[in-house]
Chains A and B, each alone.
Chain A
């Protein structure tokens, strides 16, 4: 056993780091009550350099982050900011030594790329459309379309459970494959239906087995109303089969890497 510090003996000097949330134009104004990660939540400040600035707060590096409140604080700060000014969101968990390192190593070193990306984002925000299948309706649809699945269902119901393991596996596999195919088609339908209302779209991988579509959209903030109307139309068309949720305006999480020049391999 090594003699690592334990809970009985805490280091007398706390090591702190500089948690970075995102990058904004230098003239961005923070709300007076901007708080970020940590317990208690730390005050968020701006570290400016040239035309850009980083949203940061001090974090105690001896205290692990990753509580639900930390995730929510990270996103809330970025979404609130994005509603007013363009912002390049950083992935959760970026901690830099101190504010000098933020200014010199992060902002100065990439000033022009970041400024250009922020200019491209001016007036634009992200929305997320998430569609979920209503399971019994989905399953009935699959059984109606797939004779093999329907016949396996009959076998499963006619035989004692202990004899139907393989039948159930095969049936479940068919259902799973059918959902995947439907997900692909429905995701395309969402992207096509909303294409004229956004400047870019990015399909997200399914994060739930009932996901019908999970699509991030970059859109002009000024065009939110027609976009919301188009999503509402989608929801009406699919009423009963798929539930539709629209999130946003959000920071452009799904679009920053493609907007930052020189990042590609």
Chain B
């Protein structure tokens, strides 16, 4: 996993390899879809239509945002200015929390994907038995 740690002297982060989350964004719903071109048997593996995205708007999200706003110390923001606050944030727990949330979504995505694949397998087996 790449981290959000910024290199010294510059704000740009250039990881040498993609994190798993980035990989999923690139290969699950992008790229050529083979059955659009060719009818070949996909031997038990369904084409994947996995939605790995986080649902952005929900009551849970709203409540979480409200809680974050509640915790927000505006006086700290005003006194320190943004760069100071930013510095604290990098050292504080927010990063770990963000990381936790991201990997949670990721696990859900892989679970879902595995389910899809298993289902694909089973559906095929069942089909071939019924016909």
Q: A interface vs B, CB < 8 Å?
A: 2, 4, 15, 17, 20, 22-23, 61, 64-68, 71-72, 74-76, 78-79, 88-97, 101, 105-106, 109-110, 128, 130, 132, 134-137, 139-140, 143, 149, 153, 156-157, 167-169, 171-173, 175-176, 180, 204-210, 214, 228, 231-232, 235-236, 238-241, 243-247, 250-251, 253-254, 256-257, 260, 263
B41–A97 CB distance below 8 A: yes
CB-CB < 8 A to A173: which residues of B? Answer: 57, 62
User: Which of A72, A92, A171, A204 lies in contact with B65, CB distance below 8 A?
Assistant: A171
Residues of B67-89 at the interface with A, using a CB-CB cut-off of 8 Å, are 67-70, 72, 74, 77, 82-83, 85-86, 89
B96 within 8 A of A: no
Q: How far is the CB of B123 from chain A (nearest CB, A)?
A: 12
Considering the complex, give the chain B residue whose CB is closest to the CB of A208.
Answer: B54
CB-CB < 8 A to A171: which residues of B? Answer: 62, 65-66, 69
CB-CB < 8 A to B53: which residues of A? Answer: 205-207
Distance of A100 Cα from B102 Cα, bound (Å)? 41
Total interface residues on B, CB under 8 Å, equals 77
CB-CB < 8 A to B17: which residues of A? Answer: 76
B85–A91 CB distance below 8 A: no
Q: How far is the CB of A41 from chain B (nearest CB, A)?
A: 15
Q: How far is the CB of A119 from chain B (nearest CB, A)?
A: 16
CB-CB < 8 A to B32: which residues of A? Answer: 22-23, 88-91, 94, 256-257, 260
User: Which of A65, A71, A208, A209 lies in contact with B24, CB distance below 8 A?
Assistant: A71
Tell me the dominant secondary structure on chain B's binding face: helix
B30–A66 CB distance below 8 A: no
Counting from the closest, the 5 A-B pairs by CB-CB distance are A172-B62, A168-B66, A235-B11, A253-B30, A91-B31
Q: How far is the CB of A183 from chain B (nearest CB, A)?
A: 9
Distance of A21 Cα from B38 Cα, bound (Å)? 15
CB-CB < 8 A to A96: which residues of B? Answer: 34, 38, 40-42
User: Which of B14, B42, B66 lies in contact with A156, CB distance below 8 A?
Assistant: B66
User: Which of A2, A169, A243 lies in contact with B62, CB distance below 8 A?
Assistant: A169
CB-CB < 8 A to B110: which residues of A? Answer: 66-68, 71
CB-CB < 8 A to A140: which residues of B? Answer: 72, 74, 77, 82, 85
Residues of B6-62 at the interface with A, using a CB-CB cut-off of 8 Å, are 6, 10-15, 17-18, 20-34, 36-48, 52-54, 56-57, 59, 61-62
Distance of A156 Cα from B83 Cα, bound (Å)? 27
